[in-house]
Amino acid sequence: MLVDDAVALVPSIPGRRAVLGLAGAPAAGKSTLARRLVTGVDDRLGAGTAAYLPMDGFHLSNAQLDRLGLRGRKGAPETFDVDGYVHLLRRVRETLDRPVYAPDFDRRLEEPVAAGLVVPPQALLVVTEGNYLADDGPGWEQVRGLLDELWYVDTPRSLRERRLLRRHVRGGRTESEARAFIAASERPNARRVERGRERATRTVVPGRHS
């Protein structure tokens, strides 16, 4: 079971917590799996043993995207604060004596929310997830070395794009606008994500691994 493998990552060496990364294309099911792993570890080892830290909290705000002319590319690597994400990964690995606060992402607002999440001092495992954890572009190439393991979440494109269509329509786009955005932005992003899968420790297929 994947939860067993996550439990095995909980360190017994004082001074540092473990970090498990989940990479995958948009709508692959990374956040669902991450939350399930956190819940499973907590059920086994006690509440607060694991914490969830999504990369999405490091989306640039819509105001910054507009300033940069990148609103139509939202979700591409250049639309994230990669330096902030790398800095936070270093902090959560090494800071054990006080809470570490992290930004979350509100899909209703389509905006990051400062300090929406917390990694409590007792957490020994952080599960982080995002599209570009296996990317080797500027800034992103530092992420892999901060992860104890990196799992690639592999989901068929047809299923991912159905999920994306629902997500964007719920977010306020018309169906035609959503389809256009998927074609112009989400598919190129997915192709880039897929190029990094060889840097992952293993590949997991949601529904096939329990």
Residue 186 lies in a domain: yes
* pLDDT tens per residue across span 25-37: 999 999 999 999 9
* pLDDT tens per residue across span 151-184: 999 999 999 999 999 999 998 899 999 999 999 9
Q: What is the CATH number of the domain that holds 168?
A: 3.40.50.300
C-beta separation of 201 from 67 below 8 A:
no
C-beta separation of 9 from 41 below 8 A:
no
Residue 66 lies in a domain: yes
Residue 209 lies in a domain: no
Residue 192 lies in a domain: yes
Residue 74 lies in a domain: yes
Q: What is the pTM of this model?
A: 0.94
Q: What is the pLDDT of residue 171?
A: 85
DSSP state of 17: -
Residue 30 lies in a domain: yes
Answer yes or no: is pLDDT of 5 > 70.
yes
Number of domains within the chain: 1
Answer yes or no: is pLDDT of 210 > 70.
no
Domain assignment of residue 93, given as a range: 2-204
Number of neighbours of residue 13 by Cβ within 10 angstroms: 7
Residue 150 lies in a domain: yes
Q: How many residues does the chain have?
A: 210
Residue 55 CA to residue 134 CA, distance in Å, equals 12
Q: Which amino acid is at 207?
A: G
Answer yes or no: is pLDDT of 208 > 70.
no
Residue 96 lies in a domain: yes
